[in-house]
């Protein structure tokens, strides 16, 4: 039995105003028992982070950002640093989500700087990796995962690898309703864990690797029932408090 605590994270993407975030949390937080097994993270847009962190203060739920810059400050118009996120009460940050890679030019070079910058600021990085549909069809899934993981974690010392969470998010499963089968998810996650183990066996045992891509209240129990899958990163189904609460409970 794995010692790793399950992690369920809600990636709201560019959804919910501050008022909507408050309304969600007002309804969601009482649904979450104090003794749940899973760690729960909410990732709202930047403007709702502080309010969300204040709402979650006396709960088991923590708040994460969806992106950050690797520098502490500087002439980087439109960017936000790890230190600024910490001050807003944020505990973690999504890095390298496929939408940031695809639409906003996020590179592995930048991620190699962002992951250690987050760790140095005591923000837990949740590094997203995953292959596109055509890459899977060409049998390149493992090559793509290796390339992303090795590049993005290159500057993280082995001793800090267990503080990172990796989210396996096959691009073809994100927002499509086409979930990876539990076998597909577990196979890719096993490969990622093997890559970390090759670098450092203890880190390979301790690092949490979660799945994301069309996770729903209907399929969560089956995915989270797998030994190798340490949790879920949930997009669309996290926007509704009842459905996200059901997913959290499925991990408990
Ligand atoms: P989805 O998004 O659950 O809507 O597929 C997941 C994600 O992008 O993190």
Cα dihedral 27, 216, 233, 79 sign: negative
Query: In the block, which residue shows the tokens 């505990």?
Result: 91
pLDDT band at 237 (very low <50, low <70, confident <90, very high): very high
Please report the pLDDT score of residue 117 as a whole number.
98
Cα 75 to averaged position of ligand 1 atoms, centre (Å): 32
- Region 168-182: mean pLDDT is 95
Cα 6 to averaged position of ligand 1 atoms, centre (Å): 18
- pLDDT over 70 percentage in the chain: 99
Please report the pLDDT score of residue 3 as a whole number.
85
Residue 1 has pLDDT above 80, yes or no: no
Cα 147 to averaged position of ligand 1 atoms, centre (Å): 22
Active-site pick, 39, 55, 69, 97: 97
The best mutation among 179, 234, 247 to test binding of ligand 1, ranked by most ligand atoms within 8 Å of the C-beta, falls on 234
Residue 133 CA to residue 171 CA, distance in Å, equals: 7
Cα 10 to averaged position of ligand 1 atoms, centre (Å): 9
- Region 57-85: mean pLDDT is 97
34-47 pLDDT, tens per residue? 889 999 999 999 99
- pLDDT over 90 percentage in the chain: 96
212 lines ligand 1 (CB under 6 A): yes
Indicate the DSSP class of residue 152: H
Q: Helix crossing, 182-199 with 141-152: angle to 10°?
A: 40
Q: Mark whether 97 is an active-site residue.
A: yes
CB 5 within 8 A of CB 221: no
96 lines ligand 1 (CB under 6 A): no
Cα dihedral 117, 142, 132, 182 sign: negative
CB 81 within 8 A of CB 89: no
Residue nearest to atom 6 of ligand 1 (CA): 235
101-146 pLDDT, tens per residue? 999 999 999 999 999 999 999 999 999 999 999 999 999 999 999 9
- The three-state (H, E, C) secondary structure of 192-247, written as one string: HHHHHHHHCHHHHHHCEEEEECCCCCCCHHHHHCCCCCCEEEECHHHCCHHHHHHH
Q: Mark whether 160 is an active-site residue.
A: no
Residue 2 has pLDDT above 80, yes or no: no
Separation of CA 15 from chain center: 17
């Amino acid at each position: 039995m794995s010692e790793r605590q399950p992690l369920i994270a809600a990636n709201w993407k560019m959804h919910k105003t501050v008022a909507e975030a408050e309304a969600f949390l007002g309804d969601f937080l009482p649904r979450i028992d104090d003794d749940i097994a899973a760690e729960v993270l909410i990732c709202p847009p930047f403007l709702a982070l502080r309010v969300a962190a204040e709402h979650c203060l006396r709960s088991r739920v923590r708040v994460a950002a969806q992106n950050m810059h690797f520098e502490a400050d500087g002439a980087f118009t439109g960017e936000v640093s790890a230190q600024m996120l910490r001050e807003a009460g944020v505990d973690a940050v999504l890095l390298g989500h496929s939408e940031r890679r695809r639409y906003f030019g996020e590179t592995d070079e930048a991620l190699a700087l962002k992951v250690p910058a987050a760790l140095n600021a005591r923000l837990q990085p949740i590094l997203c990796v995953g292959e596109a549909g055509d890459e899977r069809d060409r049998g390149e899934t493992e090559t793509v995962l290796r390339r992303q993981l090795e590049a993005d974690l290159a500057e993280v010392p082995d001793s800090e690898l267990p503080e990172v969470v990796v989210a396996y998010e096959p691009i073809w499963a994100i927002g499509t309703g086409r979930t990876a089968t539990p076998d597909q998810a577990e196979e890719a996650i096993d490969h990622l864990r093997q890559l970390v183990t090759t670098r450092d066996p203890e880190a390979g045992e301790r690092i949490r690797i979660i799945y994301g891509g069309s996770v729903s209240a209907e399929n969560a129990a089956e995915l989270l029932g797998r030994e190798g899958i340490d949790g879920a990163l949930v997009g669309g189904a996290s926007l509704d408090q009842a459905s996200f609460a059901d997913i959290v409970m499925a991990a408990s």
